[in-house]
């Protein structure tokens, strides 16, 4: 046993020796005969019918009930290796596609819910390319155009607000709340059960400052935005900054052309 196991690891002289014997046809014949004889005498000739009955009873006990199909563990899979390998990529591909669809769906849902709840004049007229570069700066377009701007509402507040709106959409959908953004939101609120209260407070604060962006300074932005009205519906990047400004007043309106008219009218 043990002593033999170690012997197997040494492919030395003794292993080469029997290999040389293969060429001898009489030895090959003898070896084949030995194996045949061994198999014949060691394989059990007469089977015990009682043992077979016991096995059958056990079989009926589990399979007679029908609909018996347990999960195949790795050790139960004795298909040829090629077949086993071929099946794996299919599973893997399916898993990856499913995961990306799920995650993508959550992301789209979050974006969509934020956009639909606050789209209005501001968002409808905001062109993504005009706004997106400003985002890292934290709501600077207002500063550059000289209007008062949302100085009391830094970027994090806007994020919180966005998360709050999205939270209402996704909180009942399984693992969406595991994402880091939600964890931050929960942490900011101080607990999962306090998120609702926290969010309503945040949203109330957001809507309490509605009139400020309607100030005199944003005509240039408004004009630029008006030209791009049809593209404004892309949502995600548009709602981060300028969407907020007008959000309070034009909140419930639809997007597209109607809001564009309204926004333009308001700005001018």
Binding residues for another protein (CB under 8 A): 1, 3-5, 7-9, 11, 15, 18-19, 21-22, 24, 26-28, 30-39, 41-45, 47-48, 51-52, 54-56, 58-64, 66, 68-73, 75-81
Token look-up 């806007």 returns 158
For another protein, the closer CB: 2 or 216: 2
Dihedral angle, C-alpha 121, 185, 205, 217, nearest 10 °: -40
Between CA 212 and CA 201 the distance in angstroms is 19
123-142 burial code (b ≥16 CB/10 A, e <16)? bbbbbbebbeebeeeebebb
**Which letter does DSSP use for residue 70 in this model?**
P
For another protein, the closer CB: 24 or 201: 24
| Nearest distance in Å: CB 47, another protein | 6
For another protein, the closer CB: 62 or 252: 62
| Nearest distance in Å: CB 46, another protein | 9
For another protein, the closer CB: 26 or 252: 26
Between CA 252 and CA 213 the distance in angstroms is 17
For another protein, the closer CB: 60 or 194: 60
Contact 172, 141 (CB under 8 A): no
| Nearest distance in Å: CB 44, another protein | 4
| Nearest distance in Å: CB 59, another protein | 4
Between CA 179 and CA 123 the distance in angstroms is 26
């Amino acid at each position: 046993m043990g002593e033999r196991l170690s012997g197997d690891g040494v492919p030395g002289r003794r292993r080469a020796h029997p290999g040389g014997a293969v060429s001898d046809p009489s030895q090959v014949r003898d070896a084949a005969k030995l194996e045949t004889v061994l198999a014949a005498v060691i394989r059990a000739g007469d089977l015990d019918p009682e043992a077979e009955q016991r096995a059958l009873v056990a079989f009926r006990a589990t399979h007679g009930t029908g609909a018996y199909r347990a999960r195949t563990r790795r050790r139960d899979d004795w298909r040829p290796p090629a077949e086993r390998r071929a099946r794996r990529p299919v599973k893997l591909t399916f898993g990856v596609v499913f995961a990306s669809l799920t995650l993508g769906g959550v992301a789209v849902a979050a974006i969509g819910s934020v956009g639909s709840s606050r789209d209005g004049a501001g968002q409808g007229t905001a062109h993504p390319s005009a706004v997106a570069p400003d985002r890292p700066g934290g709501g600077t377009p207002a500063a550059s155009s000289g209007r008062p701007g949302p100085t009391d509402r830094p970027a994090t507040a806007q994020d919180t607000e966005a998360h709050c709106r999205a939270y209402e959409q996704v909180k009942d959908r399984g693992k969406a709340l595991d994402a880091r953004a939600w964890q931050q939101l929960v942490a900011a609120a101080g607990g999962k059960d306090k998120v609702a209260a926290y969010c309503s407070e945040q949203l109330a604060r957001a809507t309490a400052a509605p009139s400020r962006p309607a100030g005199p300074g944003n005509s240039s932005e408004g004009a630029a935005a008006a030209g791009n009205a049809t593209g404004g519906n892309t949502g995600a990047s548009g709602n981060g900054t300028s969407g907020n400004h007008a959000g309070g007043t034009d909140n419930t309106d639809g997007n597209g052309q109607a809001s564009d008219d309204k926004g333009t009218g308001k700005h001018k």
